[in-house]
Amino acid sequence: MKKRFVPVLCAVMTVFLSAGCQSETVSAPEVTEEPVQESQTEEPETAEEIVMDELCLKIGEEVLEVKWENNESVEFLKEAVKDEPLTVNLSMYGGFEQVGSLGMSVPRNDSDTVTQSGDIVLYSGNQIVVFYGSNSWAYTRLGHIENKSQSELWDLLGNGDVTLTLFNGASASFSVPDVTLNSGYTMPVLGLGTWTLNDAEAENSVYHALKSGMRLIDTARYYRCETGVGNGIRKAIEEGFVTREEIFVTSKIMPSDYDRAYQGIHDSLDDLGLEYIDLMLIHQPGSNDEAVYRALEQSVEEGIVRSIGISNYYTPEQVDEVLSYAKITPAVIQNENHLYYQNDELQEYVKPYGIVIESWYPFGGRGHTQDHFGNETIVKIAEAHGKTPAQIILRWQVQAGYITIPGSSNPDHIAENADIFDFCLSEEEMAEIKALDRNERYVNW
C-alpha cells in the first residue's frame, strides 16, 4: 500500500505519528487477544452527538468537526448538498481568511460580526469564508471549526489556496484512513487481528474484514494461519472489491525462526501466497535481534518486504538498542495497549523517529474483555454517542494516534469494529479515557 488516497470520514481524526498491531508472545499464548468478542454490546437506540448526517465540511482531504449555526443559511446549505457534494475553490485573502464562491445565492441575515480563528461565515449571500485569523465585517454566521487550534488552522489554511467541500454525511462512504510510515508507505489505522484463528476461520474473517472496508490484516508465523489469511485475501481480490495494492499485510518472524530469519520471511511469503509483505516485525525480543533485523533489512532491499518494525519492545532503552544497529529505522512498534495500559510515554519518545505504535489487546484480551466493555466511563460515552463500548475503545485508540487491530471471527463484530469513522470523541471524553490508565499490563515478559 503506497500513498493511497485517504478516504472521507465525517469525524475529526488526529494526525498520527505512532501506531501498533496485535501481537502475541510465544511464551504466553493463553492470555493473548481473543478473536471472538464474546458479547459486544448492542448499540443504544438513541444518541446525543455531533450531527453527521446533514452537513459536513472537508478542507483538502481532512474532514473537520464543525458546530453549525441554527439558521436559514445553514438549512439551505444542508438541502443543497443533500444529493451531491458542493466543492468550492478557496483563495487566501488578507492574511487571515480563505474565501470562495458558492456558485449560488444563499439566504442571509448579515450583522456586524467580529470573527475569530475557526469561524465560517457567509459573505454577500454567495461566498463562503473560513477564518484562520480575525476580522470585523457584516457577515452571516454559518459555524465554527471545533477541533483545530489557531496554529493548526494557520497550517491548514495559511499556506496557499485550498479546496473546501460541503457534503451530506449520511450519504458519505466512510472508510478507514491511513497513516504515512517513515518508510513512505501508507498503513491503515484500523485492521483485523488473526491470533488464535485456524486457517478456515482466518480465511473467513479476512474476507469479511476486507468486505467491511478494513484494509489492514495482521498475522504471524506463530499464529499458524498465514495460509488462511492468504486465501481470504485472494477470495476478496477475485470478487473484485479490493486489489492487492490496497491491502496492507503484516506478519512476524517467530522466535523459533530467529536463527533462520531470512528463510522464515520466505516461509511467510509462501504460506500467504504473496509476492511481498507490507510490514514484517520481530515478534518479540530475543538473543540475536540484530541478526534478525539484518534479515528484515535485506528483505526490504530485495523488495519482498516494504516496511519493517519490532513487536513487544516497551521501553526507550529497548528501542534505543534497536536503533543503535538499525540501518533502516523501524516503522512500527506493535505492543500491548489498552484502556489500562496506554504507555503514551513510549509513543512520545518514538515520535521524532517517525515510528508509530500499533496496539494489540485493544479490548484487554481473554479474561479482560468484559471488564473493558463494562467500564463505567466507556459505557457512559457509548450511550452518549449511540455506539457500542467496543467502538468507543477503538475510536479512542485511533484518535489517540495508535493503529489498532481487534481480532474477531464473527462477521457482525468485524463490521461493528469497522464502523467507527462517523463520529468523534470530544477532548473531554478523550481525557476521561486517558485517566483510566493504570500502567497495568496483562502479559509481562
Q: Assign 166 to helix, strand or coil.
A: strand
Q: Assign 154 to helix, strand or coil.
A: helix
DSSP 156: H
Q: Is 313 a catalytic residue?
A: no
Q: Which residue type is seen at 377?
A: T
User: DSSP string spanning 202-258?
Assistant: HHHHHHHHHHHT--EEE--GGGT-HHHHHHHHHHHHHTTS--GGG-EEEEEE-GGGG
- Tell me the β-bridge partners of 56: 167
Give Cβ neighbours of residue 400 (< 8 Å, ≥ 6 apart): 14, 342, 344, 430, 434
How far is the C-alpha of 79 from the C-alpha of 76, rounded, in Å? Answer: 5
Burial-class residue 414 by CB neighbours within 10 Å (0-12, 13-18, 19+). buried
Burial-class residue 54 by CB neighbours within 10 Å (0-12, 13-18, 19+). middle
From the list 412, 35, 410, 36, the residue with the least C-alpha distance to 204 is 410
How far is the C-alpha of 364 from the C-alpha of 340, rounded, in Å? Answer: 8
How far is the C-alpha of 17 from the C-alpha of 235, rounded, in Å? Answer: 33
Distances, alpha carbon 133 to alpha carbons 64, 130, 153, in Å: 17, 9, 9
Q: Find the helix or strand (DSSP H, E) in which 73 lies.
A: helix 72-80
Distance from the Cα of residue 304 to its chain's centroid: 25
Q: Indicate which residue of 139, 223, 314, 442 is catalytic.
A: 223
Please give the positions annotated as active site: 223
